[in-house]
Amino acid sequence: MHLDPPKVCGHPDTLDPFAATPVGCPTISDMYGQEYCSSVLTCMFTIFRCMIGDCTSTGGRSLTAIWSDGYGWPFYLFYSFCMVCTIFGMFNIITGIFVEATMNGLKEQEIHRKYAQAYESNYMTEQLAKLVLCISEKVRKARQGGESFGAMMRRGFSSNSFRSDESPSPTSSTDQMEQELFLTEEEFLQAIRNSDVRMILDDLDVYVEPRPGVFEAFETQDDGTVSMSELVAGLMSFRGELQKVDVLTTKKVVGDVRKQLSELQSAHQVFMSQMPQLMEQMEDRISTASTTLRPSSDPRRLVVAVPRKRNQKW
């Protein structure tokens, strides 16, 4: 006669693990095995629970201890081998895969960042070169177009202009481009109104309006002109949007200048208040010195001793 263990023997959690099981009932380890490994899916889930550290029964008993006590050394070896392979093998492999993927992602991101910096640097250099060439070309064309007829005739009939080849020489063109170009305020405003120049400025993230007073933001020469190098340096300082830190920095600088001016004004006031006393002291010293340096009524003769020259005797 076949007996159903759950109905005849009861649930294994209710049995005493140290007492003998009823007659006709399997051992407690077999009863737990039939409950938690009765099918493939149930056994896989139980193994997964043991892998993550939840190898207990419904009543809270340790399945590892129960099966170890029931099956002995074969279970010890099998369970130890599986746990070592799981903990030191599978988990380390999974962790290594995630770490490797993270490190590769960081390296790739660092490479992209370096490429972006190099590209930005090269791009900025190219755009600045285009800006200088474009402004120089526009200004030189405007100056040549504004020459008088007499100046054009004198330049046309000069000795340097008569060449067998009508095209300008590369040497003269290179020397002309290497010369420092100085712009007036009118030439600067006309240059930044040009569409090509404004497109290059937009690519450089520089926003400048061609309005009066903008030219004063650049460091000009004594004659009121600005060089191309100073123009490029000033335009690069206009990059980006205005931030709060820019306003606060300007406010701090202005406050320091006002403080220095107030200290200078205070020192000037103190000096001006002490000026009458200094003048009186100076007058007293002058009068004392004039009394001391009066001419004496008993002049004396000044005698100067001159050494006598002797003849050498042989």
d(CA 83, CA 95): 16
d(CA 39, CA 202): 71
The answer as to whether 193 is a domain residue is yes
Co-location of 121 and 53 in the same domain: no
The answer as to whether 292 is a domain residue is no
Tell me the whole-structure pTM to 2 decimals: 0.40
Co-location of 26 and 129 in the same domain: no
The answer as to whether 83 is a domain residue is yes
Co-location of 80 and 30 in the same domain: yes
Co-location of 209 and 73 in the same domain: no
The answer as to whether 252 is a domain residue is yes
The answer as to whether 40 is a domain residue is yes
Which of 26, 57, 90 is the C-terminal boundary of a domain?
Answer: 90
User: Residue 27 is encoded by which pair of tokens?
Assistant: 């051992």
User: Residue 313 is encoded by which pair of tokens?
Assistant: 């005797």
Co-location of 30 and 138 in the same domain: no
User: Residue 96 is encoded by which pair of tokens?
Assistant: 């290594």
Which of 261, 285, 306 is the C-terminal boundary of a domain?
Answer: 261
User: Residue 175 is encoded by which pair of tokens?
Assistant: 């020397």
Co-location of 74 and 140 in the same domain: no
pLDDT at 95 over 80: yes
- List pLDDT tens digits, range 299-312: 555 454 555 555 55
The answer as to whether 157 is a domain residue is no
Give CA angle at 199 (195, 191), nearest 5°.
45
Identify the band that residue 170 occupies on the pLDDT scale cut at 50, 70 and 90. Answer: very low
Mean of per-residue pLDDT scores for the chain: 76
- List pLDDT tens digits, range 118-161: 677 788 888 888 888 888 888 888 888 755 444 444 444 443 43
Co-location of 139 and 229 in the same domain: yes
Q: Give percent above pLDDT 90 in the chain.
A: 2
Phi, psi angle pair for 18, to nearest 5°: -95, -10
Count of structural domains, the chain: 2
Co-location of 226 and 129 in the same domain: yes
Co-location of 255 and 215 in the same domain: yes
The residue segments making up the domain with residue 13 are 5-90
Co-location of 255 and 124 in the same domain: yes
Question: Cα–Cα distances in Å, from 203 out to 117, 120, 210?
Answer: 16, 11, 17
The answer as to whether 122 is a domain residue is yes
Question: Cα–Cα distances in Å, from 182 out to 170, 220, 221, 223, 303?
Answer: 22, 9, 9, 10, 73
The answer as to whether 106 is a domain residue is no
Which of 245, 261, 277 is the C-terminal boundary of a domain?
Answer: 261
